[in-house]
Amino acid sequence: MARHFTCSTRSTNDSIKESTNQSLLPSVPEKAHVVHNRALASTDQEFDSLLHLKPQDVERLVDLCRREFWPLAWSLFLLSIAAGTSLIIPASMGKLLDFSMSPNKHNSEPSEILADQRIFGLTLTEFGCGIAGLFVVAACANYGRLYILRVVGERIVARLRSRLYKQILMQDAAFFDSNRVGDLLSRLSSDANIVAKSLTQNISDGLRSALVGTFGLVLMAYTNLQLTGVIIAVAPPIAIGAVIYGRKIRNITIRSQQTLGMSTRVAEETLNNIKTVQAFSGDRTEVRRYNTAIRDIFSIGRTEARVSGKFFSATTIAGNLTAVAVTALGLKMIFAGTLTAGELSAFMMYSVYTGGSMIGLSHFYSKIMKGLGAASRVFELVDAEREIKSTKGLLAADAAKGAIEFKDVKFTYPTRPLSSVFSGLSFKIEPGANVCIVGPSGGGKTTIGQLLLRFYDADEGQITLGGEDIRSFNINSLRGAIGYVSQDPVLFSGSIADNISYGKPTATMAEITAAASRANCVFIDDLSKGFDTPVGPRGAQLSGGQKQRLAIARALIKDPAILVLDEATSSLDAESESAVTDALKNVMDSKTTTTISISHRLSAIRRSDTVLVLNNRGQIVETGRFQDLVADENSFFMKTLT
C-alpha cells in the first residue's frame, strides 16, 4: 500500500459484497426530489409568470436612465422646440389662406399686397422667411434630439450587456446545465437592445406624441370647440383599444424572444458540432430542426401581424370617418359664416397632428410593452443568484498543499435528481501523492474533479483541503491552486501564447516557453509564426493532440499545488504521450504537487503511486498499487480493464 494514500473504506471483498446486496436502484438524496429552480423561465408554466407587469421592473428601467439624466434632459428640451415649432405651422397656414381669400386682394396690385398687407404683423416676405426659419430650427432640434438619444441608447445597451455578461459568467455550473446558451445569447443581444431602445427612442417618440397631441387638442379647442367635441368623442374607444393591444403585444413579444432564443440554440449547437453533423449526413435533420423553430417564430409573428392589423385597421377607419364628419360639419359652418376657410384648414391640420399623435401614442404603448417584456427576461437573468459565491472566503494557496479528503460525500447532479452519483464517498489523499482514479463510465470519476473545483457543491458530507472545508475558501483562490486538464480541451480564439498564458495572465514569455516545453509542445517550432500562431475558432487550426498539449501547458504554467488530469493524454499518440508523461513524471516525483489522474490508459495507471477503483455506483471498491491490483485476476480493477 502506498504511504501517501489512506482510504476510509473496508476491505475490498466487504465493499463488493455490500454493493451486491444493496438495491439496484440508486439512492436519491432528499434534496434531489426538489425541482431544480435555477433554470430561467422556458416552459409555458414558468413563462406565464413573465406575462404580468411588475412595478419593480418599471423602477429598474428608470434606474437605468438616471446616469443619463442630463443628456435626456437636453433631448427633452430639443423635443419641445421641435414639437412647438411644428404646432405654429397650421395656424400660420390658416392665416395665409384667409389672407389670400380676402376680397380686397383681388383689386390690388401684387406689389401693394406685398408692401402693405401683413400676417401676424409681418409682410408676406418676412412671413415666408419666418416659416422657412422655423423649418430649419425644427430640423436642427430633431437632429440634436435623435443624435443624443442614439448615443444614450448605445451607452445604455452597452452597459446593460456588460452587466448581463458578467452576471452570466458568475453563475455556477448548475445554472448552465439548466439553461440553453442560445436563450442566454438572445437575452444578451436582442432583449438588451429592445430594452435600451424602449428607454430612449421609444420614450422620446411617446413624449413627442403626447406634447403634440395635447397642445394640438388645446389649439383645436381654441379654433373651434364644436368641431373639437367630434374628435374627443372618438378618443376613449381608441385609447381602450390601445391598452388592450399593448398588453397583447407584450405577451407576444415575450414568447417571440423565447422562441428566438430556442432557434439560436439550435443553430449554435449545429454549427459548433458541424463535423459530427456532416459525418452522419445530418444536415437535412438539422435543417428540419431549425425550420421547426423558424416556423414557431413565424407563427408568433403572424399572430402579432393579425393583432396589429386589426387594431390599426380599426383606428384608421375611426380616423377617416371622423375626418369626414369634421369636414362636413366645418363646411356647414363656413356656409353659415361662423367659421372661415383658413380656420377650418388650420383645424384640419391640427386634427391630423393630433390623430397622428394618438396613433403615435398607441405605437409608443405597444413598444413600451415590448420593452417591458424584454425587460422581464433581462431582469430575470440579472436576478439569477449564484449559489456558490466567488469572492468570499479564505485563501487556498497554503491549504491546497495539504491533504485532500472526501468525507461521506453524497451528490446528485441538479439536472438529474433521480440518479445519485455518490451516496457516501470517503477517501483521503496525502500531500504530494500521485493517485489514479479508474472505474467504469458513469462511476463518478470526472465528478470528483468537478466537486474539488467546486463546479458543484456536495449535497451532504464534506470535502477538505488541509483540514479546511473547501466551502470556506475564496473560490477564485481555490481554483487558482488547482490545475485542470479535461479530456476535451477547449482553446480560445487567439494565439498559442494567449492560450497558454490563460492559466496565468501575468506570465512572461519565458514562463510561456517553459510551460510549452514541459508539455512537449515541440510542434510550435514548426509553425511559421511560432507562439504567435492563431489557433482558430475553438482551436480548429490544430490537431487534437496539439490542443491537448497546449491545455497541459496552460495548467502547468500555474505551478498548481493540485493537478487534476481528466484523461489528459487520451488524444496523444504513443510518442507524444511518452514525452508528456516524462514531463508530468517530474512534477509527480517532486512531491510538491498532488496529482489526481483520471484515466483508462495503462501508461497513466502504471505511473501512479496508488490506484483508486470506483464501481458503477460511485463507490470505492478497491485501492492499492497497480502491481498488487493487476496481480489479482479476480479484482474489480482487472474487470474494469477488460
Residue 3 has pLDDT above 50, yes or no: no
Geometric angle at alpha carbon 37, from 34 and 43, rounded to 5°: 110
What is the side-by-side strand order in the sheet with 5-6? 5-6, 420-429, 404-412, 460-465, 468-469
pLDDT-derived band at 528 (thresholds 50, 70, 90) equals: confident
- The helix/strand/coil state of 410 is strand
What digits encode the pLDDT tens for the residues 332-354?
888 888 888 888 888 888 888 87
Residues 6+ apart with CB under 8 A from 106: none
Q: Note the pLDDT of residue 46.
A: 43
Lowest-confidence region among 126-130, 442-446, 499-503, 539-543: 126-130
Q: Note the pLDDT of residue 463.
A: 94
What digits encode the pLDDT tens for the residues 314-323?
877 887 788 7
- Which region holds residue 31: left if phi is over 0, alpha if psi is between -120 and 50, else beta? alpha
Nearest C-alpha neighbor of 515 from the set 567, 563, 571: 563
The three cell numbers locating residue 55: 412595478
- Give the residue with greater pLDDT, 384 vs 569: 384
What digits encode the pLDDT tens for the residues 122-133?
677 777 787 888
Separation of alpha carbons 67 and 200, rounded Å: 13
Residue 464 has pLDDT above 90, yes or no: yes
- Give the residue with greater pLDDT, 516 vs 211: 516
Mean pLDDT of 283-289: 86
pLDDT-derived band at 549 (thresholds 50, 70, 90) equals: confident
What digits encode the pLDDT tens for the residues 9-56?
333 334 333 333 333 333 334 443 333 445 665 544 444 444 455 667
- Which region holds residue 19: left if phi is over 0, alpha if psi is between -120 and 50, else beta? alpha
Q: What DSSP character marks residue 542?
A: S
Separation of alpha carbons 580 and 374, rounded Å: 50
What digits encode the pLDDT tens for the residues 54-64?
667 677 777 77
Question: Residue 73 is which amino acid?
Answer: A
Residue 526 has pLDDT above 60, yes or no: yes
Mean pLDDT of 388-394: 74
Separation of alpha carbons 271 and 269, rounded Å: 6
Q: Note the pLDDT of residue 90.
A: 78
- Which region holds residue 436: left if phi is over 0, alpha if psi is between -120 and 50, else beta? beta
pTM beyond cutoff 0.85 = no
User: Is the sign of the CA dihedral 555, 560, 565, 566 positive or negative?
Assistant: negative
Highest CATH level, class, for 5-38+390-481+560-641: alpha beta
pLDDT-derived band at 514 (thresholds 50, 70, 90) equals: very high
What digits encode the pLDDT tens for the residues 148-160?
888 888 888 888 8
Burial class (CB in 10 A: 0-12, 13-18, 19+), 169: exposed
Lowest-confidence region among 40-49, 476-485, 529-538: 40-49
Which CATH code, of 1.10.260.40, 1.20.1560.10, 1.10.10.10, 3.40.50.920, is assigned to 44-382?
Answer: 1.20.1560.10
Residues 6+ apart with CB under 8 A from 531: 495, 496, 497, 500, 509, 512, 513, 516, 524
Nearest C-alpha neighbor of 91 from the set 202, 218, 199, 203: 218
Q: Note the pLDDT of residue 104.
A: 53
Domain ranges of the chain: 5-38+390-481+560-641, 44-382
Residue 381 has pLDDT above 80, yes or no: yes
Mean pLDDT of 67-86: 85
C-alpha distances (whole Å) from 607 to each of 157, 362, 434, 577 are: 54, 74, 8, 12
Q: Note the pLDDT of residue 53.
A: 52
**Percentage with pLDDT > 70 across the chain:** 85
Mean pLDDT of 179-192: 79
Q: Note the pLDDT of residue 533.
A: 92
Separation of alpha carbons 186 and 476, rounded Å: 28
